[in-house]
Structure 1
Amino acid sequence: MNLLYEDLGYFDLTTHGLGIGEKQATMSFAPKGEVILCGVDEVLKVMRELNIEHKFHKRDGDCVEGKEIILECKGDAASLHKAWKISQNIFEYMSGIATYTNSLVVKAREINPKISVATTRKNFPGSKELMLKSVMAGGGVIHRMGLYDSILVFEQHLNFFNTKEELESAFTKLKYEFLEKKIAVEVEDYKDACYFASLGADILQCEKMEYATLKKCVTLKEHYPHLLLSATGGIHESNIEEFAKCGVDFIVTSSPYHAKPLDIKVTIKESL
């Protein structure tokens, strides 16, 4: 994906029309408020592609205070204006996700220091790499990158089995065919949680459960010590602490993908 060309196209009509393209200038980036920074690798590619002299003062995952300089650049005005907005957008969107994710992690770990906050594969199509990198910069982990990296049984899979015997045979085959993989099953109530725990599920993904039901499902760990449980569905910044209190091993959420971009101020000045 050529992020630069997406914005640049063939010409920068404004800079060309004003006749300022050959003037030498400086450009700097700084957040207006505190952020968890993300987007350094992507902006670095932009700088290199345009042969802009640059110096990064921060790395992905750094906590950056308001007005702290992230990046300083030198070059001709034409190149700096080409790099300006795409670089700003990268920093603002990716840092927004990283900062929001970090807030979730901090809130959850104040309750349970060992809990993980993981994100789903419900990212905006075409943006997976950028979104996942942002989540990781914020201290989150990846629940599923796609269909290829993990096994998760949904109701949509179970609908293809007409009898319990047929399902149990297929489930046993699945476990032995993929011995190195943990088998996760999405469950919506305590009855299903008990059933799939008894079949040998490694992970129960508890979907949109009420707190009391979720806490009851956690008690299954007493009978199945290997069992891991996650809470998922509708979890965000304002309620994650409640879910962390119930004893699940990790929390699965898509909410970081909807995080608001954060303001990164860009200053461009002619070199005197």
Structure 2
Amino acid sequence: MDLLFEDVGYFDLTTLGLGIGEKKGLMTFAPKDEIVLCGVDEVKNILNQLDIKHTFFKKNGDRVEAHEVILECKAEASKLHKAWKISQNIFEYMSGIATYTNALVTIAKDINPNISVSTTRKNFPGVKEMMLKAVMSGGGAPHRLGLYDSILVFDQHLAFLSDKAELESSFKKLKSEFIERKVAVEVDSLVNARYFASLGADILQCEKMDYETLKECVLLKKEFTHILVSATGGIHKDNIAEFVKCGVDFIVTSSPYHAKPLDIKVKIKEDK
């Protein structure tokens, strides 16, 4: 995807029409409020495409104070105006995800320093790499990159294995064929959690459970010492603490993908 061409197209009609394209300019980027920064690599690519001289004062994952300058650019006005809005959008959206993720991680690790906060594959199509980079810049981790990198059994798979004997045979085959992989199963009750733990599931992904049921699933770790237990479904900044207190090993959430873009102020002036 050519991010620059998507916004600029063939011409910048306004800059061209005003006849200011050859004038030298200075452009700076700074957040309105404190943020965790992300988008540096993508913006740097755009600046390099346009041959704009630039200096980054921060890197991905840095905490940036309000009004602290992230980036300074020097070039002709025609180049600065092409880089301006697409770069601002990248910083605002990716830093929004990074900052929200960091808030989740901070809340969770204050309760359990060893817990992991992971995000699902419910990202907006076409920008997975950017969204995952933002999550990781905020201290989170990808739960699944896609169907190809991990094994997660859903009800939608089990719908084709209604016979119990066939299910157990298929599950055993799955475990043996992909012996180096952990096998996760999404469960919605203590009964299902115990059943799949007994079949050898490595991870019980507890979907939209109330806190008491989730705590009971965590207690299965005493009986099935090989398992990990995760919580998922409707987890966000306002309730993550309660899920962590249940004793799960990691949190799975999509909420960072819906984070509000943050306000990055861009200033452009003539550089005489």
Q: Deviations over 1:82-120 (max 9, x none)?
A: 000000000000000000000000001111111000000
Q: Which amino acid aligns with 1:125?
A: P
4+ runs deviating over 3 angstroms? none
SS state at 1:74 partner: strand
Give me the TM-score of the superposition, normalised by structure 1.
Answer: 1.00
SS state at 1:166 partner: helix
Q: Which amino acid aligns with 2:270?
A: E
CA–CA distance in structure 2, aligned partners of residues 93 and 100 of structure 1: 11
Partner residue of 1:159? 159
Partner residue of 2:263? 263
Partner residue of 1:62? 62
CA–CA distance in structure 1, aligned partners of residues 191 and 224 of structure 2: 15
% same residue: 71
Gapped runs of 5+ residues in structure 2?
none
Q: Tell me by how many angstroms 1:226 deviates.
A: 1.4
Q: Which amino acid aligns with 1:129?
A: E
SS state at 2:67 partner: coil
CA–CA distance in structure 2, aligned partners of residues 239 and 16 of structure 1: 51
Q: Tell me by how many angstroms 1:176 deviates.
A: 0.4
CA–CA distance in structure 2, aligned partners of residues 63 and 179 of structure 1: 41
Partner residue of 1:169? 169
Q: Which amino acid aligns with 1:22?
A: E
CA–CA distance in structure 1, aligned partners of residues 57 and 162 of structure 2: 60
Q: Tell me by how many angstroms 1:161 deviates.
A: 1.1
Q: Tell me by how many angstroms 1:162 deviates.
A: 2.6
Q: How does 1:1-272 map to 2 (within 5 A)?
A: 1-272=1-272
CA–CA distance in structure 2, aligned partners of residues 105 and 192 of structure 1: 29
Q: Which amino acid aligns with 1:76?
A: E
CA–CA distance in structure 2, aligned partners of residues 31 and 162 of structure 1: 54
CA–CA distance in structure 1, aligned partners of residues 162 and 109 of structure 2: 42
SS state at 1:90 partner: helix
Gapped runs of 5+ residues in structure 1?
none
CA–CA distance in structure 2, aligned partners of residues 228 and 73 of structure 1: 48
SS state at 1:144 partner: coil
CA–CA distance in structure 1, aligned partners of residues 100 and 135 of structure 2: 9
Q: Tell me by how many angstroms 1:225 deviates.
A: 1.2
Q: Tell me by how many angstroms 1:72 deviates.
A: 0.3
SS state at 1:196 partner: helix
Q: Tell me by how many angstroms 1:70 deviates.
A: 0.3
CA–CA distance in structure 1, aligned partners of residues 268 and 177 of structure 2: 59
- Cα RMSD between the aligned structures? 0.4
Give me the TM-score of the superposition, normalised by structure 2.
Answer: 1.00
